[in-house]
Amino acid sequence: MLLTDFDYELPQELIAQEGTASREKSRLMVLEKDGSFTHHLFEDLISYLHSGDLVIVNDARVAKARLLGRKETGGKIDCLLIPQKLNSAIREVYLRPSNVKVGTRLLFVETFPGKETVTRAKVLERIGGSKFKLEFEDLSVIDRLGQLPIPPYIKKRLPDPERYQTIFSKKEGSLAAPTAGLHFTEDLIHTLKTLGVEFAHITLHIGIGTFAPIRTENVEAWTMHAECYELTQENGDKINRAIEQKRRIFAVGTTTVRTLETITQNNKVTAGEGWTNIFIYPGYSFKFPYAGMLTNFHLPQSTLLLLGSAFAGKEKIFSAYREAIEKKYRFFSLGDAMLILK
C-alpha cells in the first residue's frame, strides 16, 4: 500500500489558524454508513446521540513543554521537553536546530523590570536525530517559561492558550491536544447528559510522532511511535457495561480509538497503564464495537488520515474530504469536525 495513495491537495486558506468563537459553533459533517454526508453545526450532535449512548473521550492535557532559549554562543534554540513522570533535573528533549554539541550550555532568560534572570541547561547526550538529554540547573523554569507546543501549521498566536485544551483535559503530559474533543462545551455536555448520554474517560498522552510525517514509501513498513495510555477501573467498568448491554458507543478522536484498540480483547477492555505503538491503516480489523467516531480533518499522508480511512473506508473518507474542501470546511487541529457512523 503506497503512502502516495493517501495524498490530497488542500488550499492553504482552509488550514484553521484559530478556533471558532464558540467551540460548539464549529461545523460538523456527518458521514453516514452508505457514504452519503450531511452538514451541520457541532451543537447539532444532540440529534445523533440518544439516551443510553456512551461517549468515550481522551482527558489528556497538553503540557507547557516548549522552551525558547539560546545557546551560550548566541544562536536561538527551540526546546521541546518529552513529558515524564519522574521530577528529575535530567530531561529528554527535542532540540531545533539539532546541530548542538554535547557539553553545550543552553540559556533560558526571564525578563523582569530592570533585570534578567538566566537559567541554564547542559547538553549531556545526543540520543539520536534531534533527541537529546539535558540537565537543568532549575526545573522550575519550565513552569515559568514553558509554552504549549502548538502545531507548526498554526502561524497565528493563540490569545487564550486554553483554546488548545479540551474541557475534559485533566492529566497533563501530552504534546498535542486530542483535537476532536475541542468542540465540546460544558453546556453541550450538560444537554447530552440530560438526554441520557453517558461519558467515559481514557488518557492517551500524544507524542511528538503525531507531527512526524510517515517516511516510508510503503505504508506497511512504517513503525509507529509509542505513547503512554491509562484507563481507570471505574471507566473500564463503565465501558464494559455498555458493551455487555449492547449500547451504542462513540469514540471521540483517533487517540481514543488507538487506546481502545490496544486494550480490547474478546469484546472487553482491560483497565491499567501502558504504552502503545499500534498503527492502524486500511485493512485493519477493529476489535472494539464502535457505533461511530468523532474526528477532525487531518493532514495528507498522516497516520491520523490512515486511521480514518481504515475506520470508514478509504473511498468514503476521500469523498468526504473532497466535499469538505468544496464546502470550505476548516481543516486540522483547530478546524471543523466529522462524525463517522458505523
Q: What is the CA radius of gyration of the chain?
A: 21
What is the structure's pLDDT at 112?
79
Residue-averaged pLDDT of the chain: 95
What pLDDT is attached to residue 211?
Answer: 67
Which pTM value belongs to this model? 0.93
What is the predicted pLDDT for the residue at 259? 98
Mean pLDDT of 111-129: 90
Q: How far apart are CA 78 and CA 80, in angstroms?
A: 7
pLDDT of residue 213: 83
Q: Is the pLDDT of residue 113 over 90?
A: no
**Residue 267, pLDDT score:** 96
For residue 152, pLDDT beyond 90: no
pLDDT value, residue 83: 82
Rounded distance between C-alpha atoms, residue 272 and residue 288, angstroms: 17
**Which of the residue ranges 156-160, 177-181, 312-316 would you say has the lowest mean pLDDT?**
156-160
Condensed to tens digits (0 to 9), the pLDDT of residues 292-326 reads 999 999 999 999 999 999 999 999 999 999 999 99
What pLDDT was estimated at residue 212? 75
Choice between 157 and 17, residue whose per-residue pLDDT is larger: 17
Average pLDDT (81-85) is 83
342: its cell numbers? 458505523
Upstream peptide bond of 97 is cis (omega within 30 degrees of 0): yes
Q: Name, in order, each residue with C-beta under 8 angstroms of 261's C-beta and a sequence gap of 6 or more.
A: 278, 280, 286, 287, 288
- Of 55-59, 156-160, 210-214, 221-225, minimum mean pLDDT range: 210-214
Residues 254-292 pLDDT 10s: 999 999 999 999 999 999 999 999 999 999 999 999 999
65 has a pLDDT exceeding 70 = yes
How does pLDDT run across 31-52, given as a tens digit for each residue? 999 999 999 999 999 999 999 9
The strands making up 198-205's β-sheet, listed across from edge to edge, are 37-41, 27-31, 337-341, 292-296, 249-252, 54-58, 198-205, 227-231, 272-276
Residue type, 216: T
Q: Please report the domains of the chain, with CATH numbers, ordered by start residue.
A: 3-62+155-341 (3.40.1780.10), 66-145 (2.40.10.240)
pLDDT-based confidence at 108, cuts 50/70/90?
Answer: very high
